Structure 1
Amino acid sequence: MSQSPSDPGAELLRLAESDPARLMVVAAGVARRARDEGDLALASVAARALGIAAFHVTDLHVAARHLRESIRLAQRAGSPELAAEARLRLSFVWCVRGRMDQALAEVDRALPDLRGAGRARAEAQRAVIHNHLRRPDEALAAYRLAVPALIQAGDHLWLQRVLSNRGIVHGLRNEFAAAEHDLHEAERLCRRLGLDLSLAIAWQNLGWISALRGEVPAALRYLDLAERRFRRLDTHQLCWTLADRTELLLSAGLVAEARRRPRRPWPSSRGASARWACPRPGCCSRARRTWKATTSRRCARPAARRSASAGSTGRSGRWWPGSWR
């Protein structure tokens, strides 16, 4: 579905990448009005935007519920293309929950109804699943198909996401120059489009790349930038940043710095869906345990060795930003 910048649906999707908490309020109102006016296509896009935002600020169950509603509304509107776009988003929810067969099935169901840039977005989503399945070569092959098509279509919203994801694949392969190139280009696009959340995610991943290269001051600088933005937006990625900083400091032997409590509390679980409050399950509790380990030098040294191995923070299992976009 091609959307112009003035399209209200396109603006909702952009806001979901910029300020998801604000989007939750705005999109709920748009969805109600669209239903009242019989505009089921716009209601479907609004529900999809709510699903994207819910992933960042509530939980996976809420995100999946909104995305399934988006699919139903698109089907009632007679728009298989809109339903397919929602399926791509739902695919990542299954991916994060470890249901890879369901994730791939959603992509396969979406593909027949997508053309051009839509098919490129599907390939990008398939690449994320390959990455979660530890298939970096297949992921890069899918990105090679997706990126030129997104550039040709001028789909910069998805392009920044794909570049951020591809940068992580390069990082996992120790291809640091290529990783930084992709992440800096994603950063540039985020600034241009005003995507505050995506920009913070790019900074966090640049911090990770800097840490892998042994550039601790640069890594801490990027993580500080990301932390400030995540706190302002009140999103779950904050707990990842706190965990990543703690493990980085331990891996560098900076036990005293790692032992300090965060300037503000750890993110709290929200409501009854606490176990899905963070899209990376166990991250907040792991971060707290890592911090507590630093109160004893006897515990800190093994923790530092664990952090130093396999790229600091176990990125092979992390949630990758662009995939959910």
Structure 2
Amino acid sequence: MYSINNDLKEKISRLNNMLVDKYRGVLSLESCDLRNFIEKNVGPIIPISKLSKDQLLYYSQKGGIVGVDGSNNRMGGAYPHFVEVYQGLAKSTLYKDDPIFKTDIYTPLYSETKEDILEEDGRIEETEKNKRLSTIEVEVALEGIKKFKPYAVLMDGGFIRYNIYSYEKWMELRQECEKRGILLVGVIKDIKTSIIGDKLREEDAFVKECFYDRELLFGLLNYGEIIAIKDDATKKAKIGYSSIFMRSSLAPSVIGMDILDSQRDHIEEMAKLIFTLTPENSRGVPLWLDMVDKEVKISDAMMRGLMERYMNRDVYERFFLSERDKRTL
């Protein structure tokens, strides 16, 4: 049995009480009242059904579905003595044995762009990671649509980070999908928006806190319901895409979905596809994306194996083996 410090117990209890106090007013709302508020201010709540076998066969005949995901892992110690590896994967439901991988690596100790070398405070780390991971996912998606010519592409994550961190490549992917008639969809496992909370603050002067959609929608939607978010309820329309929230499994949490604004007419169709591909007893993510996620993942063991096999031992220990990794206890 672990021995837990009493001060830590008190801090956790205090955090619990603070969250209960913060959310008491909002979470005490009747579900029907909150649902009515959402329908009036955010978008209609629509029940959807799963696709039939004939409809799924139609997708196969039209090129199938490509799932896209990326992964990164880091080995080493504090800045700048680390190396980060990035991997992107595009995998077709029709050509399962022909995955497309793209890889990249980064370390502040060596960079092709001189201004990135040895930034003393390491502030570029997070931006650099986001740029490289976003870009590699978009690049592998581009290669996937050209090679597999799918009916639709499911990206693991929302569109906004591609728009921010890999704008030029993202615009190229968007234009290619529009030109080829390929539906481009982003599946958001962990939503971070506050669309409903922002509307609550606008409409109710007594609501002062910031509430996030994840917590407000927890257990609110029925299995197989979506919220088709109005364009004027979100800033996403301004940067070229539309979104929904949906409860795609029996788990009480919701996921999000983005689609290009030019393909908005297909938003309910793609919601039905995601709903169909998601096991009801899962965490709400389409099974195909979960399989892609598992295959693209870069584990700690994989990182150690790569470094130990393909790097000179002296270089490895001098630059990238942290003191923590040397511990024997």
* Superposition TM-score, scaled by structure 2 size: 0.25
Q: Which has the larger radius of gyration?
A: 2
Tell which has more relative contact order, 1 or 2 (C-alpha 8 A, sep 6+): 2
More strand by share: 2
* Superposition TM-score, scaled by structure 1 size: 0.26
